[in-house]
Structure 1
Amino acid sequence: MSEQPNVIQASITTFRVAEALKHLEGAGVTELAAHLELPKSTVHYHLRTLMQAEFIVADGDEYRVGLRFLDFGEFVRDRVELLDATDPALRKLAEETEEIANLLVEEHGRGVYVARELGERAVQTSFHTGKRVPLHQTSAGKALLAFTPRERVEEILDRHGLPSKTQNTITDRDELFEELEEIHERGYAYDDEEWHRGLRCVAAPIRDLNDRAVGAVSVAAPLSRTRGDRYRSDLPDAVLSTANVIELNMQYS
């Protein structure tokens, strides 16, 4: 990320330390310093700051993210208006497909999962509420981008690039825009092991009255259960139907 004017770099570092603690699921000063490539004295300074503000807790020589972040997360979740229109449609999608159903929105050029429901046969993945992902790596992210103005998509790519997650991830800008055109025409997007090996996803955008995506709903399932008609017609029909219900709920709620 490029440095911006009028930004307090010490504050940015503090947030980097907090994010690293989440990523590492707790760590000591030495491990954090190595992970962030910062001096141990600097890391210790920012840990003390986070401790004083009660955002992290100490467990012996290790530090971990504290419950105060939960308060912030629940506050933000309550203010996401789209969630009111999504429940119980997302739950019904998970029940009918028996897989993982997700709701994703865009913030700061990244995808953020804001809701998740598990069907009977849902597999364990690293998807969780609040998880941030590059938009081009997932079906939900691509569904969002396909119904986002071209200039905004260009801004997102300029800022975040096209990092690879698997060997199937699209890393070429022209190829991505070609796929976004196809998604726009058919109305839904695929993720064919582009975010995680052995996992396929299908997603549909949730659009406002101006035909711009305000979110996307997706179903994720293992490769073994996403073959033939289920992948090419059944799951697309399911996410399109769910997106349509959510759009109507948004208009008349």
Structure 2
Amino acid sequence: MGNNANETNLVKSDETLFAIIEQLRESDGAGVTELAKQLDMAKSSIHKHLHTMVKHGYVVKRNDTYHIGLQFLNFGEYVRDSYDIYHASKSKIHELAERTGEMVWLIIPENGLGWFLYGEKGDSGISEESIVGSWTYLHNNSGGKAILANLPSEQIDNIIDQHGLPTKTENTITDLNTLRTELENIRERGYAVNQGEDIAGIHAVGVPLISDGEIQGALSIAGAAHRFKRDQREQKLAEYLITAADDIEVNLAYQ
């Protein structure tokens, strides 16, 4: 994940701790020797951090392998539950998933990235479980582009300065002028599209969620590219999303 934080302000022990956690997730569990090799660190240091995290429930040990603990789920559920937009959107996301048969996402912006806060699938077979809680760049995602299109120009520039416009697929927009034109088109038509720009073969339509004049997140519908080819299909999904977004924004206003 891109980050321009001043390295001199970082705490080395905290950096080590997060590196271990991230590696445990990436490896789906690992032993002390394996972690020391992957992170190029002393086994004694790795062991101390693991022992501390086991004590507090953030890591569990099964035989000689350490895994991420359920304490993280406890905090994750707490964080998601703290967002009004999550509660305001859940029923509408369920309705859209049933109506369209596609995957429906709630994406929120944080630190210049888009985070998948919640999602439900219809009968399309795309699983949401591995994506909820993960992040995406805003420029290659329909919901992300809907968010960018409703931010001030200065904030858009800051996000691009921080994260750049990295390529995910051959369809990803990586030119700033092209992105600016795309964002202007989104403002004019009221919705964004993603034509295999994040994941090859997956297309999506997204709309912004705005409350009190500020962008709160985005709602999107994603599915296999062959089901999104016709302009009529894209526009119909956009209509569903815009109607749902209006209801969500009303829900937010009265929470």
Same-fold call, TM cutoff 0.5:
yes
Q: Alpha-carbon deviations, 1:10-36, whole Å to 9, x = none?
A: 202211221222233222344434544
C-alpha contact 1:139 1:218 (8 A) present in aligned 2: yes
- Cα offset for 1:231? 3.9
Q: Does 1:158 align with 2:157?
A: no
Among candidates 44, 57, 61, match of residue 58 of structure 1: 61
C-alpha contact 1:99 1:221 (8 A) present in aligned 2: yes
| Number of the residue aligned with 1:237 | 239
Among candidates 124, 139, 146, match of residue 121 of structure 1: 124
Equivalent residue of 1:215, what SS?
Answer: strand
Q: Alpha-carbon deviations, 1:179-219, whole Å to 9, x = none?
A: 11111111111111111111111100001232x32110001
Q: RMSD in angstroms over aligned alpha carbons? A: 2.0
C-alpha contact 2:142 2:204 (8 A) present in aligned 1: yes
Aligned pair in 2 of structure 1 residues 127, 162: CA closer, same or farther (>3 Å)? farther
Aligned pair in 2 of structure 1 residues 200, 125: CA closer, same or farther (>3 Å)? farther
- Cα offset for 1:3? 4.2
Q: Does 1:79 align with 2:82?
A: yes
C-alpha contact 2:146 2:206 (8 A) present in aligned 1: yes
Q: Does 1:143 align with 2:146?
A: yes
CA distance in 1, matches of 2:123, 2:34: 39
C-alpha contact 1:122 1:221 (8 A) present in aligned 2: no
C-alpha contact 2:104 2:120 (8 A) present in aligned 1: yes
CA distance in 1, matches of 2:147, 2:61: 39
Bigger drift between 142-151 and 125-134 goes to: 125-134
TM-score, normalization: structure 1?
0.91
CA distance in 2, matches of 1:101, 1:22: 25
| Number of the residue aligned with 2:177 | 174
C-alpha contact 1:207 1:215 (8 A) present in aligned 2: yes
CA distance in 1, matches of 2:64, 2:167: 35
Gaps in structure 1 of 5+ consecutive residues: none
| Number of the residue aligned with 2:99 | 96
| Number of the residue aligned with 1:215 | 217
C-alpha contact 1:29 1:40 (8 A) present in aligned 2: no
Letter in 1 for 2:171: N
Bigger drift between 95-104 and 241-250 goes to: 241-250
Aligned pair in 2 of structure 1 residues 33, 167: CA closer, same or farther (>3 Å)? farther
CA distance in 1, matches of 2:150, 2:10: 32
Aligned pair in 2 of structure 1 residues 195, 155: CA closer, same or farther (>3 Å)? same
Q: Does 1:224 align with 2:226?
A: yes
Q: Alpha-carbon deviations, 1:139-170, whole Å to 9, x = none?
A: 11111111011111211111122221111111
| Number of the residue aligned with 2:251 | 249
TM-score, normalization: structure 2?
0.90
| Number of the residue aligned with 1:7 | 10
The percent identity for this pair of structures is 37
Gaps in structure 2 of 5+ consecutive residues: none
Aligned pair in 2 of structure 1 residues 126, 117: CA closer, same or farther (>3 Å)? closer
